[in-house]
Amino acid sequence: MNCLRGFKSLLYGFFFSFVLSIWVRVHGQNIWPMPKSVSFGNRTLSLSSNFELRTYRSNYLDSSGILNEAFERMMHLVKAGHMLKTDFPDSGIQDSVDIALNTFDDMLTSLPVLAGINIAIRSPNETLNFGIDESYYLYVPDTGSILFARVEAATVFGALHALETFSQLCNFNFTTKALELHSAPLTIYDQPRFPYRGLLIDTSRHYLPVAVIKSVIDSMSYSKLNVLHWHIVDDQSFPIEVPSYPKLWKGAYSNSERYTIEDAAEIVKYAEQRGVNVLAEIDVPGHTSSWGFGYRSLWPSNGCRNPLDVSNEFAFEIIDGILLDFRKVFKFKFVHLGGDEVFMGKAPYILLFYSELNDNNMTLSDGYRYFVLRAQNIAISHGYDIINWEETFNNFGGKLSPKTVVHNWLGQGVAQKVVAAGLRCIVSNQDRWYLDHLDVPWQHFYANEPLTNITDPNQRKLVLGGEVCMWGEQIDTSNIQRTIWPRAAAAAERLWTPLEKLPKNPREVALRLAHFRCLLNQRGIQAAPLDGYSRNGPQDPGSCINQ
């Protein structure tokens, strides 16, 4: 920069100072998503260099290590930003400021010290599934001889949320080079508004390496999302191993772009340890072109590769085999059976295929319905409830199993029809919650209300929540995280925080969301700037907080 631009720079300087002064003011409340209830004081505590986990009065024994590992991860996260003085052996690099620092050491020692966190969990059970109690209570005292933060939670998974919240309260002090917690005494009561808070990833259009899926799961837990909807297979590729039908993954893009069934089990385990359920999807009868590379008879005719042929018993046998294998790995209450975009009667091959159906006295739409309902019954026989894309409801809603959850995607206003019909619903209307729609800014993600026009309390309960969808046609390892974040976080607060605490105007949370975006960056997650067009990089130099 040269001096011609000096004044412009000066103006920027004023602007930064202004923004930062606001930032400091909301400091005590920089938690994302906003808890149900927060009250706080103005006292600063210093975290002990031996900050420890205690589980006094807990019924949960942590035999699998979920809680201990979560505590270690939390400590790693709050320490990852900067080296602590206590962790850095004296190397002489601070000689010149030792006098200055001694003053601060005194200041440090004069702060009350938070010695650790005690987590008491009521339930000994550590099985994650739909509808478990995710609530927690977090209290940070500011007086007493030995200060311990206190967490009470019904389940270990509520405790994980408490640890995430606690991590967002910790700050690095650049003078003392120690960790601090501001705003003590602090009391938080928290629980999610919706039990289903999902993110879809798509490993058929582009393979996502296991390390990348794990990184997505990590980042989900930071905004308390709890369902990874894994759209595993589709027309383009069939990357997963199905032991019962070992030729299916011949439909993978390449030998190396595959998941073994053990990889899938590892991903499920990794997610569960972070309070995230994994919802597996096989999308039938459409979106199945890749299936026939291993079993050619699944292609309805020469040159036509989907939908699966309703007159072919083998199609149902193979679905049965897939779900038999899936049930051993994917323990979530639900399996997703797709059912969308089944194109009937347009192409000559489809007409040929359905003319065969007609021999069985079925119409085209009869065939579609028959397929979906039979696939539902197979899933139920394996102990699953079913999620189906909304076309199934739109076409033959009255026939769907009562165990069905209808997954909205086409547009708004669907949930109210679904719950009026007595079925459950999750919301992903594409005009607001499809992350691949790059023209949808975070404000629209934030403002999308799943309960719009649903007033009956019983019907409201049927809306289980919602899900943002990261379809993979133009997404791979290089850009998935910056396309997901920060927009998914905007939806995450909509799904977590009580409606009455959500401002009508998303602008009111912009600075707190920017702060969360910077926190994601600090944790190594490639969250994009809030400004600009969905996932664009920054247009100019500047602070993370105002981009």
Known catalytic residues are: 341
347 or 420: CB nearest its own copies: 347
Name the burial class of residue 165, with classes exposed (0-12), middle (13-18) and buried (19+) by CB atoms within 10 angstroms of its CB: buried
Contacts of 120 (CB under 8 A, 6+ apart): 55, 56, 57, 58, 59, 150, 151, 152, 153
Q: Which span (39-47, 57-65, 92-100, 498-506) binds its own copies, by CB under 8 A?
A: 92-100
Which of 94, 125, 297, 365 touches its own copies by CB under 8 A?
A: 94
Tell me which stretch binds its own copies (CB under 8 A): 1-9, 42-50, 193-201, 500-508.
1-9
Residue 44 DSSP one-character state:
E
Query: Phi, psi (5° rounding) for residue 309?
Result: -85, 115
Burial of 403 (0-12, 13-18, 19+ CB in 10 A): middle
Does 459 sit near its own copies (CB under 8 A)?
no
Interface with its own copies, residue 81, by CB under 8 A:
yes
- With binding defined as CB under 8 A, does residue 44 bind its own copies? no
For its own copies, the binding residues in 105-144 under the rule CB under 8 A are none
Q: Give the one residue of 22, 80, 146, 420 binding its own copies; rule: CB under 8 A.
A: 80
User: Does 341 sit near its own copies (CB under 8 A)?
Assistant: yes
> Are 379 and 335 contacting, i.e. CB atoms less than 8 angstroms apart?
yes
For residue 254, the one-letter residue type is: S
CB of 282 to its own copies, least distance (A): 16
From the CB of 211, what's the least distance to its own copies, in Å? 4
Q: Among candidates 180, 181, 218, 165, which has minimal Cα distance to 31?
A: 165
**Which of 107, 111, 261, 362 is in the footprint of its own copies by CB under 8 A?**
261
> In this complex, which beta carbon is closest to its own copies, that of residue 452 or of residue 478?
478
CA 73, 104, 40, 53 torsion: positive or negative?
positive
List, in sequence order, every residue forming a beta bridge with 467; answer none if it has no partner.
198
Within residues 236-255, the interface with its own copies by CB under 8 A covers 236-237, 241, 243-244, 246, 253-255
Is residue 499 a contact point for its own copies (CB under 8 A)? Answer: no
Nearer to its own copies, 2 or 458 (CB): 2
User: Smaller CB distance to its own copies: residue 466 or 472?
Assistant: 472
Binding of residue 474 to its own copies (CB under 8 A): yes
Q: 3-class SS at 335?
A: strand
| Residue 347 makes contact with its own copies by CB under 8 A | yes
Distance CA 527, CA 377 (A): 41
With residue 444 as reference, give the H or E element that holds it: helix 442-447
Q: How far is the CB of 17 from its own copies (least distance, A)?
A: 10
User: Which of 39, 102, 363, 478: binder of its own copies (CB under 8 A)?
Assistant: 478
